[in-house]
């Protein structure tokens, strides 16, 4: 999977999770201590974002990063994409 696609996939999953939690972008920014431009870029798949800020946003959304062998660079569970299993 090209990196741009992986970044877009991550952004879509984070936006779906934020919406599922009923949080606005402003609320997530306040809780994570990031600016609105950063969160917008992250949710829209910008491939060059700061990892420390990404991890902080993940924590605010109750998500974690798990590494393991995979055929995909980024795999997102259907329930975290806003889909039903």
pLDDT digits (tens, 9 = 90+) for 10-28: 999 999 999 999 999 999 9
For 22-25, which contacts have Cβ atoms below 8 Å and span 24 or more sequence positions? 23/61
In this structure, the number of other CB atoms found within 10 A of the CB of residue 50 comes to 11
pLDDT at 74 over 90: no
Q: What pTM value is reported for the model?
A: 0.83
Report d(CA 82, CA 17) in Å as an integer.
7
Please compute Rg for the chain using Cα positions. Answer: 12
Domains of the chain: 3-81 (1.10.260.40)
Site of tokens 């599922």:
20
Provide the token pair at 41.
Answer: 């870029």
Q: How confident is the model at residue 85 (pLDDT cuts 50, 70, 90)?
A: low
């Amino acid at each position: 999977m090209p990196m741009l696609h992986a970044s877009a996939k991550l952004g879509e999953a984070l936006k779906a999770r934020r919406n599922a939690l009923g949080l606005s972008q402003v609320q997530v920014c306040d809780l994570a201590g990031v600016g609105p431009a950063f969160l917008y870029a992250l949710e829209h798949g910008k491939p060059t974002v700061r990892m420390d800020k990404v991890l902080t946003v993940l924590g605010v959304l109750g998500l974690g990063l798990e590494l393991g062998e995979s055929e995909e660079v980024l795999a997102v569970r259907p329930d975290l994409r806003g889909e039903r299993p």
